[in-house]
Amino acid sequence: MVPYEYYVALSGLLMVLGLIGIAVRRNIIALLLSTELMLNAVNIAFVAFDMKLADVSGQVFVFFILTIAAAEAAVGLGLIMAIYRLRKDVDTETLTELKN
Amino acid sequence: MELTAFWIFSSLAVLSAVGVVFFRNIIYAVLSLISTLIMISGLFFAMGAELIGALQIIIYAVAIVVFYVLVISTVPEFKGKAFEPKFILISLPVGFLIFLELAFVSLYGAWKSNTGIFTPEVISEVSNVKAVSTVLFTKYLFPFEVASLILLVAMIGAIIIGKKEHVIDEEAKS
């Protein structure tokens, strides 16, 4: 048996990598990819704590997270398509109408 | 055996996640994301969560990634700089601090939660799939129905957002 701490540390590492990706990247699609990484980190933590606590409720919540991730990808990519059609650009540095 | 599986899958997952964050070409980033998702699914199988591992492959690594590839194929190549250079220097130490905090809170926090009834003996008797789906369709039935509603709303929203603004309706004109 692998101690559950290893899985929790892996989950924290993936979460931080996703966070760095959101801070660093400039392509909007890459931001959505980093969001998927963070959602997966949460999934790992849920299943690891399930293993520790001898329960299966966390896996049910992972199922819900998968559902929400699919909805998020559909709506987010639809928004990106709409933005691209309007502006011909997906760079976060130039899409700054809401600033100021 | 499980420890070997953990080290292989987790090192490959972290390596691919670094690729997702730091590849300049977005296609390479999506391919790295597929690799990460499959490795995480392997971790789920190693933890004994078979249903979630299979769903991870089916939903994430197939359905969601296909969305991304379709959108990337319509949006042409990204021309600007891939990274914000001034944020790399800031975000790496801050990210390391957040990682330390997450690890500390998770490992030394007070996880005094109630343990459930699904001990490994029970899981080996009824399979993991049966245990998860029993809880899903009894205790969490209402959230399950709400999840289906969310998917419907997301589908309609994606169609309405993504369609072209001015579609000339030929039949209405004539």
Judge: B21–A20 Cβ closer than 8 Å, yes or no.
Answer: yes
**Total count of domains within chain A:** 1
Q: Is any Cβ of chain B less than 8 angstroms from the Cβ of A27? A: yes
Buried b (16+ CB within 10 A) or exposed e, B22-52: bbeebeebbbbbbbbbbbbbbbbbbbbbebb
pLDDT at B120 over 70: yes
* B73 within some domain: yes
* B68 within some domain: yes
Domain of residue B76, residue span: 1-83
* A100 within some domain: no
Q: Is any Cβ of chain B less than 8 angstroms from the Cβ of A87? A: no
Tell me which residue in B78, B161, B165 faces A90 most closely, judged by beta carbons. B78
pLDDT at B108: 73
pLDDT at B33: 93
Tell me which residue in B78, B98, B155 faces A27 most closely, judged by beta carbons. B78
**Number of helical (H) and strand (E) elements in chain A, helices listed first:** 3, 0
pLDDT by 10s per residue, chain A, length 100: 778 888 888 998 999 999 999 988 888 888 999 999 999 999 999 998 888 888 888 899 999 999 999 999 999 988 888 888 888 877 887 888 887 7
Question: Can you give the CATH number for the domain in which B64 is found?
Answer: 1.20.120.1200
Judge: B33–A36 Cβ closer than 8 Å, yes or no.
Answer: yes
Contact A38, A19 (CB under 8 A): yes
* B40 within some domain: yes
Contact B14, A14 (CB under 8 A): yes
* B125 within some domain: no
A91 SS3 class: strand
A2 SS3 class: coil
ipTM comes to 0.90
Quote the CA–CA distance of B123 and B127 in Å, as a whole number: 5
pLDDT at B168: 61
Task: Name the pTM for this structure.
Answer: 0.86
> Which region, left, alpha or beta, applies to residue A88 given φ > 0 means left and ψ of -120 to 50 means alpha?
left
Q: How far does B170 lie from chain A, in Å, by closest CA?
A: 22
* B163 within some domain: no
* A93 within some domain: no
Instruction: Tell me the chain B residues in contact with residue A26 when contact means C-beta distances shorter than 8 Å.
Output: 80-84
pLDDT at B145: 94
Question: Can you give the CATH number for the domain in which A57 is found?
Answer: 1.10.287.3510
Rounded average pLDDT over B18-40: 91
**Total count of domains within chain B:** 1
* A19 within some domain: yes
Local confidence band at B110 (pLDDT 50, 70, 90 cut-offs): low
* A30 within some domain: yes
pLDDT at B172: 61
* A99 within some domain: no
Judge: A17–B74 Cβ closer than 8 Å, yes or no.
Answer: no
pLDDT at B165: 65
Domain of residue A72, residue span: 4-87
* A97 within some domain: no
